[in-house]
Amino acid sequence: MKNKMFTNRQLGRLILPLLVEQLLVMLVGMADTIMVSAAGEAAISGVSIVNDVNNLIIAILTAIAGGGSVIVTQYLGNKDEENTKLSASQLLMISFVISLVFGILCVAFHSVILHALYKSIEVDVMNSASVYFWITALSFPFLGVYNSSAALYRSMNRTNTTMRVSILMNVINVVGNFICVYLLHMGAAGVAWPTLASRVVAAIVMLALCFDSEAPISVVWKDILTWNQTIISKILSIAIPNGIENGLFQLGKVIISMFVATYGTMQIAANGVTNSFCVLCYTTEMAMQLAVVTVVGQCVGANDYDQARYYIRKMLIMAMVMAVINNVILFVVSPFALQLYTLKNETLAITETILGMECLAVGLFHALAFVLPTCLRAAGDAKYTMYVGVLSMFFARVAGAYILGTVMGLGVVGTRIAMYIDWIVRIVFFAIRYKSGKWTQYRAIE
């Protein structure tokens, strides 16, 4: 193929900083759990169940940023400078408004939400969860701004910048955790306040960078403070299906966490520790999901579907190879890493079992189940991925988790098996869609 839009060198410059950035994000989430484990299993459990709820909100905010970046990237690939900058500004505006609403609601009703979802948990777990929830909810508006600003920088291949800001954010978080948990003995609040501080700083830095008028993508206050229905509609045409898919996906995980909450503090703690460690299993695929939006989006914006197909295949192979390597390494080091947690022997045994399952399943299935639909969304085919993702989540993962985990008594092991069934179902339907070529009919810009 002549005149490739992205050379191997350019792909490397795009992907490597994203890998570092995602690894840092995952490691800091893991550090939160390691540090709060010093305050006891009730604190671990409280933070764990709130993170399931927080991830629901974060998934929606990420979907908005992702939807906007698809539109911005396609305009960039089409060399439409005016609409590139206008859509970037509108993305920041709508992200801030929606994240502010979520933040206000979660702060005001944090106790009501937790008691509605987890009324059967022990009092000390609920107390830790309540404190952690309202503090982290304060960060949602800043997270919305950061996510959208970072998405804009990734859209123009400037992933070195987002990596550096991520490093700054994570240093603030880890240092803050150490001070608040180990020195001030603040328990769950000790990992919540540094999270808030790190997101405030990251949002301010990334927003300031987005005002660089010399950059291919930049924003101006005039466009941020206006409402352009055409651009907003285009952003929401991707963001709403993506948000529904991601939101209901996380809602399904919250429902499963409700099942897990009935299995006792030991299994809740094992599930929480595994979740915190297993995010490392997904590091390479998360980076590739961000990268394919930039690459496929620009190819589709240029109306070059031959190149889009070429890069989808190439980046899927890269994602699968990296996933296998990553998870083999994690499986080998996991027995040593788990010694960092303060856990009872019974809890540690459960954690080791489900962590081994996770490394195997992620290495085999996760890249195809999640990177491929991101490619389809980057081309504008967002509704199909939404339908498949939502239906598979509830009919395969949630129903399967209840049957295997609760009815058959397999506990958290059963919920994990149901999750892997969900991944396989997704792969089948997304592979059929890609092979059919129907995704080429959904270019989001004129």
Structure confidence at residue 242 (pLDDT): 84
Residue 90 binned pLDDT confidence (cut-offs 50, 70, 90): very high
Per-residue model confidence (pLDDT) at position 67: 86
- Give this prediction's pTM: 0.81
In this structure, the chain runs to a length of 446
What's the pLDDT score for residue 34? 73
Q: Which two tokens stand for residue 394?
A: 């509830």
Percentage of the residues of the chain whose pLDDT score is greater than 90: 57
Mean pLDDT over the full length of the chain = 89
Report the pLDDT averaged over residues 357-364.
91
CB 68 within 8 A of CB 150: no
Position 383 scores a pLDDT of 92
53 and 110 in contact (C-beta within 8 Å)?
A: no
Tokens of 227: 């409402």
Confidence of residue 446 (pLDDT cuts 50, 70, 90): low
Query: Locate tokens 């509605």: which residue?
Result: 116
Q: What's the rounded Cα separation, in Å, for the pair 353 and 375?
A: 33
Q: Provide the pLDDT for residue 29.
A: 64
**Tokens encoding 260:** 């897990």
Q: What is the DSSP string of 149-211?
A: HHHHHHHTT-HHHHHHHHHHHHHHHHHHHIIIIIIS--TTHHHHHHHHHHHHHHHHHHHHHTT
Q: Cβ(421)–Cβ(400) under 8 Å? A: yes
Residue 96, pLDDT > 90, answer yes
Residue 23 has what pLDDT? Answer: 82
Query: Can you give the pLDDT at residue 196?
Result: 94
Q: What is the pLDDT of residues 262-301, one digit of tens each?
A: 887 788 888 877 877 777 888 899 899 999 999 999 999 9
More confident residue, 372 or 52: 372
pLDDT at 328 over 90: yes
Mean pLDDT of the region 8-27: 87
Q: pLDDT tens, 212-222?
A: 988 999 999 99
Q: Is the distance from CB of 88 to CB of 73 less than 8 angstroms?
A: no
Q: How confident is the model at residue 30 (pLDDT cuts 50, 70, 90)?
A: low
Q: What percent of the chain shows pLDDT beyond 70?
A: 98
Grade residue 419 by pLDDT with cuts at 50, 70 and 90: very high
Q: What is the pLDDT of residues 182-233, one digit of tens each?
A: 888 888 888 899 999 999 999 999 999 999 988 999 999 999 999 999 999 9
Quick check: 167 pLDDT over 70?
yes
Mean pLDDT of all residues in 394-402: 93
1: pLDDT strictly greater than 60? no
Name 233's Cβ contacts closer than 8 Å, sequence gap at least 6.
none
Sequence-distant (≥ 6) Cβ neighbours of residue 216 within 8 angstroms: 76, 81, 84, 156
Mean pLDDT, range 48-52, rounded to an integer:
79
Higher pLDDT, 121 or 286: 286
